[in-house]
């Protein structure tokens, strides 16, 4: 297992073996059976190409009123708890006592993408955001802490975990494309990304 450092992001290549990845997919299936994936609208009114759900006290949500954390799924029910095997990844890579209150679930089908953005809806940027990739590879683009400038891209593969923290906590990042058929983990293909966030 190697840790790459790209612009302050710590990329734990291949941290999760196949059986750990399968157990995570099972756990996420449990979450989305109660809190189904939905396609949020951007504040500009266009639907996002990624489908989302969440686990934890908070889920991330977006519509014409803006981006925010909410305590319930659009169906009105509270989000399910963050699965233990997901929290164990946070413990392993951060070593923090504090635990995340949100596990955002992003599902990218072939053709879905996420534009360059900062994660800044959380109350305190001293806490890292931890990202887990499962399924097809995604081309992850890393920019700067301010808008614009040169970027670097890296393919994130199933089992890779990225810690976005410290001076890089507000670094712009996004996903340009998904390499369809690059993993057999998900029977219907696509990519799942989990991001663990301390919200309050
Ligand atoms: O899918 C990814 O790798 C990144 C997701 C992300 O940046 C986010 O949900 O804020
Ligand atoms: Mn992000």
* pLDDT score, position 7: 98
Ligand 1 atom nearest residue 129's Cα? 10
Rounded to the nearest angstrom, the distance between the alpha carbon of 132 and the centre of ligand 1 is 9
Residues 29-44, mean pLDDT to the nearest whole number: 96
Which protein residue has the closest C-alpha to ligand 1 atom 1?
A: 193
> Is 28 in contact with 72 (CB distance < 8 Å)?
no
Average pLDDT, the chain: 97
Q: Which residues of 115-153 are buried (b: 16+ CB within 10 A; e: fewer)?
A: ebebbebbeeeebbbbbbbbbbbbebbbbeeeeeeeeee
Q: Does the pLDDT value for residue 1 go beyond 90? A: no
Q: Could you tell which of 129, 134, 143, 173 is best to mutate to test the pocket of ligand 1, judged by most ligand atoms within 8 Å of the CB?
A: 173
Rounded to the nearest angstrom, the distance between the alpha carbon of 117 and the centre of ligand 2 is 6
Rounded to the nearest angstrom, the distance between the alpha carbon of 175 and the centre of ligand 2 is 9
- Sheet order of strands, 102-108 included: 2-6, 9-13, 161-164, 129-135, 191-197, 102-108, 51-56
Q: Does the pLDDT value for residue 160 go beyond 90? A: yes
Q: Which residue has the tokens 């955002």?
A: 104
- CA 61 – CA 40 distance, rounded (Å): 7
pTM of the model: 0.98
* pLDDT score, position 36: 98
Residues 68-80, mean pLDDT to the nearest whole number: 98
Ligand 1 atom nearest residue 119's Cα? 10
pLDDT digits (tens, 9 = 90+) for 168-184: 999 999 999 999 999 99
Task: Give the number of other CB atoms < 10 A from CB of residue 94.
Answer: 19
Burial (CB count within 10 angstroms: exposed 0-12, middle 13-18, buried 19+), residue 175:
buried
| Range of the structural domain that residue 150 is part of | 2-197
What count of Cα atoms within 13 Å lies in the side-chain half-sphere of residue 158? Answer: 24
Say which CATH number the domain at 185 has: 2.60.120.590
Number of domains in the chain: 1
> Is 160 in contact with 17 (CB distance < 8 Å)?
no
Rounded to the nearest angstrom, the distance between the alpha carbon of 143 and the centre of ligand 1 is 13
């Amino acid at each position: 297992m190697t840790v790459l450092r790209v612009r302050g992001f710590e990329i734990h290549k291949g941290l999760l073996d196949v059986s750990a990845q399968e157990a995570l997919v099972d756990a996420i299936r449990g979450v989305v059976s109660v809190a189904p994936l939905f396609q949020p609208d951007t504040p500009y009114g266009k639907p996002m190409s990624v489908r989302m759900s969440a686990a934890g006290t908070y889920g991330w949500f977006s519509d014409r009123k803006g981006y925010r954390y909410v305590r319930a799924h659009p169906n009105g029910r509270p989000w399910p708890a963050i699965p233990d095997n997901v929290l164990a990844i946070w413990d392993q890579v951060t070593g923090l006592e504090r635990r995340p209150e949100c596990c955002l679930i992003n599902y990218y089908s072939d053709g879905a993408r996420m534009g360059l953005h900062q994660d800044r809806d959380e109350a305190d940027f001293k806490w890292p955001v931890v990202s887990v990739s499962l399924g097809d590879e995604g081309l992850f683009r890393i920019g700067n802490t301010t808008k614009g400038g040169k970027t670097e891209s890296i393919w994130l593969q199933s089992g890779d975990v990225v810690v976005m923290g410290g001076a890089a906590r507000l670094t712009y990042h996004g996903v340009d494309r998904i390499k369809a058929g690059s993993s057999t983990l998900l029977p219907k293909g696509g990519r799942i990304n989990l991001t663990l966030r301390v919200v309050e």
